[in-house]
Structure formats: structure tokens, C-alpha cells
Amino acid sequence: MGKDTSKRILDSLLQLSNIEFITSYFRFQLLQDPDDNKFVDCAIAANASFLVTEDRDFDPLKSIEFPKVMVIKVDSFLSWLKQN
């Protein structure tokens, strides 16, 4: 995907009423993989209820007290969606 295409997609997403642009000012570095840390930092900055993933590399977050990031699997998320 080209840079122009990515920019157009991002610009389109930012026009939606249920999308909010969040800038993460802190880098917590809670995981071993720097590529995974950006998702954790984003979840913390956005005050997300949980982070949905099947990636076991996120499992260490379950034992970290602060900042607390609840990690759930896709099937748990789907159940939560049906209930809410």
C-alpha cells in the first residue's frame, strides 16, 4: 500500500464520528517486542477497556499492575459485544 493510499485511508477514518485521534506521549515499553509496545501505548493513551489479541506475546500484561491493560481473546470480545 502506497503512502498516498495510507494517508487517504487515515484521513477518511478521522472523519468518522466514532474515531478519535490519540497521541501517545509516553512509551511504557512493557513488552519485549517494540512492534507490540506501540499497541499497548495506544491502548493506555486511549484509556481502552481492553486490548483484543490472539498474540501470546501480550500475555505478560496480565501480570503487570500499572498501567493496567486488560488483554482478551477474540472470542471473549465477541461475547462481550453480544452482551453489550
* Sign (positive or negative) of CA dihedral 70, 76, 59, 20: negative
Contact of 62 with 84, CB cutoff 8 Å: no
pLDDT surpassing 80 at residue 84 = yes
pLDDT of residue 58: 94
pLDDT surpassing 70 at residue 2 = no
For 29-58, what is each residue's pLDDT tens digit?
899 888 899 999 989 998 899 999 999 999
For 8-32, what is each residue's pLDDT tens digit?
988 898 888 888 877 878 888 899 8
Q: What is the C-alpha separation between 80 and 70, in angstroms, rounded?
A: 13
Q: Measured between alpha carbons, how far is residue 70 from residues 5, 17, 19, 40, 74 in Å? A: 33, 25, 21, 10, 13
